[in-house]
Structure 1
Amino acid sequence: MTASDAPAFCVHCGQPAPGGADHPACHNPRTALEPPRYCTFCARRLVVQVSPLGWTARCSRHGETASG
């Protein structure tokens, strides 16, 4: 991972966030349980699928992430 690939966007609103952390306006207990909606690397909308067992989120450029 290079410096240009470092996380830089909030996963909940897509706004710039230092170090890829939650944007201060989005950081609350409710959003902690939500799946990501935006890619932390490029701020593109993610394709999110929620199931009873968890969620998967896919960026067209950076691949898939799953709940853990």
Structure 2
Amino acid sequence: MNEIRMRAVNALEDVDNTLKGLCACIEIMQMGAQHMANGEYIDDALGMIRKALQNTRAELDEATSTLMQMRASA
């Protein structure tokens, strides 16, 4: 049971780290939008945001799966 709880905590910490990365991507996009006349770099920033969102979804799936295992074994 402790192992499952630890896996859940680790998965949620991974989600937190992914969200921090997402915030950094958004900050980069905002700075870029303020200093660029064209949008070529904005597209790159949006791609980074999309990837961060995909990673967040994967981490949430892992956390949910771990918590479901914990619930089933309780």
Same fold, TM-score > 0.5, yes or no: no
Higher relative contact order (CA 8 A, sep 6+): 2
Structure (1 or 2) with the greater strand fraction: 1
TM-score (norm 1): 0.25
TM-score (norm 2): 0.24
Larger Rg over CA atoms: 2
